Amino acid sequence: MTADAVNPTETAIRERQVRRNWLLCVPALVLLVFAASGPLLIVLVYSFLEPGDYSGVIWKFSTEGWFQVVFSRDIFDETISLADAHLSIIWRSASLSLATTALTLLFGFPTAYFIATRPESHRAAWLFLITIPFWTNLLIRTFAIMEVVRNEGILNSALKGLGVIDEPIQLLYTETAVLIGMVYVYLPLMVLPLYAAMERLDFRLVEAAYDLYATRLRVLRRVIIPLVKPGIVAGSILVFVPSLGAYVTPRVLGGGKNMMLGNLIELQFGQGRNWPLGAALSLTLLVIVTVALLFYVRNVSRGSRYG
């Protein structure tokens, strides 16, 4: 072998490695394309077709599905107006999701801070207490809340017992019940990333702030919150995204009157029998979620400069 000839082994090994990597990933990718990502493209196709009489679609190009997301056409005179029902549902989805995010942050921040400031050996146990509800079936947790907010539920009984109210308040099947339910089911999703950020918080920085005459409130506002901001953003996204697409919680706690986007979508594939509209609504939801995720990615990559 001559000394100045470039050895072919190195590149050959690298190529073999990349090929091996891809081969190992192929089975998972095939499954995911078949049963998760690929069908999303079919949704896109369906959103541009005409609805069938009973269900399904007629293979004819139409933008009616997308049109109906925002507008409605009068059956008799074809006048176009804003689809109030849809818009109010989209508005409810957005406002309830934002309220859920804000409330989970309000409850989650002190909880995460509490866990992060425990002695290291205790933290895992506290965290475990958060993880149990997190992994508990969403339906079960929603049932649990349902029992709390019912007319005969513990909330009303407690209030009655305390003499605050005489008659039970109708909570179930209201927007408030949906909000309570969503805060309850998504709270762990806020606590976990917040905790992850706070665990990394260097308390020597807090000491330095106190040393430089900061009050507790100022330490919180000027030191702690800026440092854990990536965790706040991550938690907010983790709560906001599934809230927006929530289906079970509004169905169980909101009844038929307090639908959210997820229920509206389901309706088009059930009684509504308007698959193209359902497809268009699904994609609308997907776009909003993607925008939120992109916002998150940008924020986190900017935030990582500090952490």
Partner 1 sequence: MAEPAAQARRGRRFSVKNLPGVTGMAMLCFVLLYAPIVTLVTYSFNAGESIALWEGFSWRWYAAAWENDTVQEAAVRSFVVALFASAISTTLATMAALGTTRTGPFPGRTAIYVLINQPLMVPEIVTAVALLIFFASIKVATGYSGLAYLIAAHSAFCVPFAYLPIRARLEGMDPTLELAAADLYASDWMAFSRVTLPLLTPGIVAGAMLAFVISLDDVVITEFVKSAGQDTLPTYMLGQLRRAISPEVNAISTALLAITVVLLTAFFLLSRKRRVDGE
Partner 2 sequence: MSEAATVDTANTTTAVDIRGVSKIFGAGSDAFTALDDVSVAIRENEFFTLLGPSGCGKTTLLRLIAGFEHATRGTVLLYGEDISDQPPYERPVNTVFQSYALFPHLTVAQNVSFGLEMLGREKSEIREAVDRMLKLVRMEPMRNRRTEQISGGQQQRVALARALAPRPKVLLLDEPLSALDLKLRKEMQGELKRLQHETGITFIFVTHDQEEALTMSDRVAVMNEGRILQVGSPREIYDRPGDRFVASFIGEMNFLVSKIESVESDRVRVVFPGGAAAFAERPKDFEPAGEVTLAVRPEYVRIENAGTPDTLPATVTEKVYFGTDTHYHLRLHDGAELVSRLQNARGREDTHPVGDRVGVRWATGSAQILKG
In the region spanning residues 7 to 36, those forming contacts with partner 2, defined by CB under 8 A, are 7, 9-10, 13
What is the token pair recorded at 29? 């990718």
Give the sign of the dihedral formed by CA 239, CA 243, CA 246, CA 249: positive
Shortest approach of partner 2 to residue 1 CB, angstroms?
5
Q: Which residues contact 135 (CB under 8 A, 6 or more apart)?
A: none
Check residue 157 for interaction with partner 1 (CB under 8 A).
yes
User: In the structure encoding, which two tokens stand for residue 243, read together?
Assistant: 């809230």
Residue 164: contacted member of partner 2, partner 1, none (CB under 5 to 8 Å, by partner type): none
- Residue corresponding to tokens 């609504």: 281
Using a CB cutoff of 8 Å and minimum separation of 24, what contacts does 109-115 make?
Answer: 109/194, 109/232, 111/191, 112/190, 112/191, 112/194, 112/195, 112/198, 112/231, 113/194, 113/198, 113/224, 115/191, 115/195, 115/198
Among 65, 193, 245, 254, binds partner 1 (CB under 8 A): 245
Considering only 6, 36, 75, 132, the residue that binds partner 2 (CB under 8 A) is: 6
Rule CB under 8 A: which of 214-233 touch partner 1?
216, 220
Q: Which does 51 bind (CB under 5 to 8 A by kind): partner 1, partner 2, none?
A: none
Report the residue from 71, 143, 173, 295 that binds partner 1 according to the rule CB under 8 A.
143
Helix (H, G, I), strand (E, B) or coil at 82: strand
> Can you tell me which of 11, 12, 25, 91 binds partner 1, judged by CB under 8 A?
25
Q: Which of partner 2, partner 1, none is residue 6 near (CB under 5 to 8 Å by kind)?
A: partner 2
Judged by CB under 8 A, which of 58, 124, 225, 291 binds partner 1?
A: 124
- Contact residues for partner 2 (CB under 8 A)? 1, 3-7, 9-10, 13
